[in-house]
């Protein structure tokens, strides 16, 4: 019986610790894309911004082979506005590209492990 409790406690500690490792990374909640000649991306992010030292500061549109097509720099924290959406217009997409990835970063941790793949219209 004691070993069952030890296993349960170990599993709980592992889950809490692993959640804490990723808790501070920026999370991409949604991406909407509208294309005519060029494309407009509206990206919704969620991040536990704490102020000027730790906030979500950029998101990028990249090809599946990591060629950057556009970046939106975020110049200030969004402490009281979570999640939040910002847009980037005028993104030129090569005709051969049918999907792109969106990646996001924060000042403290850099790029999040999460990438959001989007089918282009």
Per-residue tokens: 112: 């999040």
10-68 pLDDT, tens digit each: 444 444 443 444 457 889 999 999 999 899 999 999 888 777 888 888 999 999 999 99
Under 8 Å between Cβ of 91 and 103: no
Contact 43, 104 (CB under 8 A): yes
Instruction: Please give the model's pTM, rounded to 2 decimal places.
Output: 0.76
User: What residue ranges define each of the domains in the chain, with the CATH number in brackets?
Assistant: 25-119 (2.60.40.730)
What is the chain's length?
Answer: 121
């Amino acid at each position: 019986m004691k070993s069952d409790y030890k296993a349960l406690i170990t599993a709980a500690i592992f889950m809490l610790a692993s959640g804490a490792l990723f808790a501070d990374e920026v999370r991409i909640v949604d991406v909407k894309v509208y294309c005519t000649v060029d494309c407009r991306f509206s990206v919704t992010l969620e991040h536990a911004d704490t102020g000027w030292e730790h906030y979500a500061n950029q998101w990028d549109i990249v090809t599946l082979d990591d060629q950057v097509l556009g970046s939106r720099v975020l110049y200030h924290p969004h402490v009281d506005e979570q999640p939040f959406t910002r847009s980037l217009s005028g993104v030129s997409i090569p005709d051969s590209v049918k999907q792109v990835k969106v990646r996001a970063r924060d000042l403290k941790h850099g790029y999040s492990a999460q990438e959001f793949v989007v089918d282009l219209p």
